[in-house]
A and B are shown apart, each in its own frame.
Chain A
Amino acid sequence: TQTVSQSDAHVTVFEGDSVELRCNYSYGGSIYLSWYIQHHGRGLQFLLKYYSGNPVVQGVNGFKAEFSKSDSSFHLRKASVHWSDSAVYFCAVSARDMGYKLTFGTGTSLLVDP
């Protein structure tokens, strides 16, 4: 069974602050890790993904994530947030031997105060 945990349900920062959204996974096989963003009332949008290679992956809008096998983590970071980054962020896992579906974490709601 693959699991994804996002320990912070809510994160509030000020515009211009840096932010880290945490994601930990549990699975021993080959996996893709990804992050998606959901603005209020809308569908999810892809941010970035990791499978192998450089553990730091760059995504859209200045987001990046770092994979750590030792910590079983895939944390998302942004150096300077904008009010428009306010949204719910989902970490997801796709395991080769569990089909192509995404297994999502419970999401982290990011609020950026202007």
Chain B
Amino acid sequence: DAAVTQKPRYLIKMKGQEAEMKCIPEKGHTAVFWYQQKQSKELKFLIYFQNQQPLDQIDMVKERFSAVCPSSSLCSLGIRTCEAEDSALYLCSSSPGDWGAEQYFGPGTRLTVL
């Protein structure tokens, strides 16, 4: 079973609505990552937190997403205005924080935008 928890597992939104998904990283891990996966392939990096601070993110996240880690035990990823192209599986992972350390993935939140 995944040590990283993600909620909800499934999320359905209408175009234009806001969406929010949460991630509980593995205890003791200082690095948290979010990835977007479409069509069960093509994993795309979205944003990376180290000790709750965002250190790296792609332009799409800066423009349309909101991501925070208010504590070491909870992170969230939000989409301010959902678009059809946002339909995907959103995977959260955590790691001890060292470069090259294996990442532990949650089961993902599957977002469907209608």
Chain A residues packing against B (C-beta within 8 Å): 32, 34, 36, 41-46, 49, 51, 88, 90, 94, 96, 99-104, 106-107
Instruction: State whether A94 touches B99 (Cβ < 8 A).
Output: yes
How far is B35's CA from A66's CA once the two chains are assembled, in angstroms? Answer: 27
Chain B residues packing against A (C-beta within 8 Å): 2, 4, 6, 31, 33, 35, 40-43, 45, 48, 50, 55-56, 91, 93, 95, 97, 99-100, 102-108
- Name A34's closest neighbour in chain B (CB-CB): B102
- Shortest distance from the beta carbon of B65 to any chain A beta carbon, whole Å: 15
- Return the 6 tightest CB-CB contacts between A and B, nearest first: A43-B105, A32-B100, A46-B102, A104-B43, A44-B105, A99-B56
Residues of A within 8 A of B50 (CB): 100
Known pairs A32-B100, A100-B31; A107 contacts B41 (CB<8 A):
yes
Instruction: State whether A43 touches B33 (Cβ < 8 A).
Output: no
Residues of A within 8 A of B103 (CB): 44, 46, 102
Question: How many pairs of residues, A versus B, come closer than 8 Å at their CB atoms?
Answer: 64
Instruction: State whether A96 touches B99 (Cβ < 8 A).
Output: yes
How far is B86's CA from A2's CA once the two chains are assembled, in angstroms? Answer: 25
Instruction: State whether A100 touches B48 (Cβ < 8 A).
Output: yes
How far is B103's CA from A90's CA once the two chains are assembled, in angstroms? Answer: 13
Residues of B within 8 A of A49 (CB): 100, 102
Known pairs A32-B100, A96-B99; A101 contacts B43 (CB<8 A):
no
Instruction: State whether A101 touches B107 (Cβ < 8 A).
Output: no
Instruction: State whether B107 touches A43 (Cβ < 8 A).
Output: yes
Residues of A within 8 A of B33 (CB): 100-102
Residues of B within 8 A of A107 (CB): 41-43
How far is B93's CA from A45's CA once the two chains are assembled, in angstroms? Answer: 10
